[in-house]
Amino acid sequence: MSEDTKEFCKSCETCQASGKTGGTPKAPLIPLPVVRVHFERVGVDIVGPLDPPTASGNRFILVVVDHATRYPEAIPLRTTTAPEVAKALLGIFSRVGFPKEVVSDRGSNFMSAYLKAMWKECGVTYKFTTPYHPQTNGLVERFNKTLKGMIMGLPEKLRRRWDILLPCLLFAYREVPQKGVGISPFELLFGHPVRGPLTFFKEGWEQPLKAPKQDIVDYVLGLRSRMAEYMKKASKNLQASQELQKQWHDQKAVLVQYQPGQKVWVLEPVAPRALQDKWSGPHTIVEKKGEVTYLVDLGTARSPLRVLHVNRLKPYYDRADLTLLMATDEGQEEDSDPLPDLFSSTEQDALVEGVVLADCLTAEQKDHCINLLGQFSELFSTVPGTTSWCEHTIDTGDSLPVKSKISRQPDHVRDCIKQEVQKMFELGVVEHSESPWASPVVLVPKPHSKDGKKEMRFCVDYRGLNQVTKTDAHPIPRADELIDTLASAKYLSTFDLTAGYWQIKLSEDAKPKTAFSTIGGHYQFTVMPFGLKNAPATFQRLVM
């Protein structure tokens, strides 16, 4: 009933449409391939509008970042029309050469026929990011944030002249080593460190060294060698940085798979108003385009089909698919059979009380289990037995007896303690004692109760006794090693012992040390109780 209730609530369309955006797990990170050639792949984006505009009327910045060297270019623009963007790009590529691939978002200027014709004539392959998923062009997006922060860091009187100071900001960025590659963009592109303000100060403090005369051929050969070494080091550092970034990102990532025809919700691309749903749908999955992208039928006349990233999707739960058990007029459910039809009535009678066989077993396997349970039915008992294989001892050395006074307890607690002691006395677990040792009794609420009532667990606080008990050094198995051992197993069997500790006898010297006092008298255990210091070691020695 609990699972049916969860499924019923989860299928509420109103809750699904207005649910929080972070309720679905993110897909694992897919790092972009490492580029080793300068300006072979570049990322392009537009920053702005930046208000108020500068004195020249510039409100936008065209940003181009090389994927291999992280070398940025930025051109101030008045508008972002396709001809003006194309003109600025030609100015950049005329200095560094045309790339093989250009990555940009799906802005109207980048997707215009004007720019597509230019890319085709120049032999450039253009790739667009997944709609409303800027992480695909994350290298440029991260630089945009840095560039806007540098502009905001200018004095207020110079902030309106950012287009004039833009070359200075780019110079400062290019001479700083990048965290991912470990080398500055300037040095990766040109093969030697840039001569900046810090170099000026250093030359003023130190005696400048006269550069030895070098033949032009030797210089070119040395430059090529340095460039190859720099790119090799940068690629290695970048790959290690990507692996570390993926490791941190994928800690809570889950790759959700959708099938064609499946109904999904789509996250709205813009921030919704206060009372507007965050998710639209349900929409239908048409095709899986990539590892984390899907072609979705949005059902709109403007854009019926759109490729979306899996992080913008979440499954749709249809309430019509749920099968509910309806109550009859007599108050009974339609499917009111208390026992699944796993076996015949004869087999049900032969079963040991409280044992139910799984549905995955064959008829032959069920018969075999029933015969086995009937043959050893005395072993399946709720009354603990005792073993003669070992006994528990308590070595306290020359320590004096530890005695605690009885604390005041409410009447309902007294009745509960009296009942628990009476049960243990009838089972032979405890006996009357005249021991000088005495540990306090505590009642702990049980975490779960079968009938819903609040039940208490009878416990004895043996912390005083444990402090003077010598440690048993028998090794306790490690949980991770046990899991590794069971990893290759085909079948796993578990056995739950009935009060396993109480099936181990105490030595005659140990019994007086387990004594405890109640209002009704002074008692001591005859079997190993819970809470003793070396009880796990003794139990482990038995099962081994």
Rounded to whole angstroms, the Cα distance separating 310 from 426 reads 63
pLDDT for res 249? 67
- DSSP class of residue 437? -
pTM over 0.95: no
Question: Where is pLDDT greater, at 518 or 329?
Answer: 518
Interatomic CA distance for residues 171 and 89, integer angstroms: 19
Cis, bond preceding 49 (omega within 30 deg of 0): yes
Task: Encode pLDDT of 453-506 as tens digits.
Answer: 567 778 888 988 999 999 988 888 888 888 888 877 877 777 778 888 888 899
Query: What tokens does 396 get?
Result: 């306290």
- Candidates 28, 63, 29; CA nearest to 48 is 63
Instruction: Give the residue-averaged pLDDT of 304-322.
Output: 76
What is the DSSP pairing of strand 101-104 with strand 72-77? unpaired
Backbone φ, ψ for residue 140 (5° rounding): -75, -40
Average pLDDT, the chain: 77
Q: Provide the pLDDT confidence category of residue 342 given band limits of 50, 70 and 90.
A: very low
User: DSSP secondary-structure letter at 81?
Assistant: -
Per-residue confidence at 326, pLDDT binned at 50, 70, 90?
Answer: very low
- Residue 447 is predicted with a pLDDT of 65
Mean pLDDT lowest for which of 223-237, 244-258, 273-287, 445-459?
445-459
> Using 50, 70 and 90 to split pLDDT, how confident is the model at 394?
very high
Using one digit for the tens of pLDDT, what is the confidence trace for 350-378?
445 556 777 777 888 888 887 887 777 77
| Helix, coil or strand: residue 20 | coil
Angle (CA) 68-71-72 rounded to 5° is: 130
> By the 8 A CB rule, do 314 and 320 touch?
no
Task: State the alpha helices, DSSP H only, in 23-137.
Answer: 82-96, 113-121
pLDDT at 274: 56
pLDDT class for 527, splitting at 50, 70, 90? Answer: very high
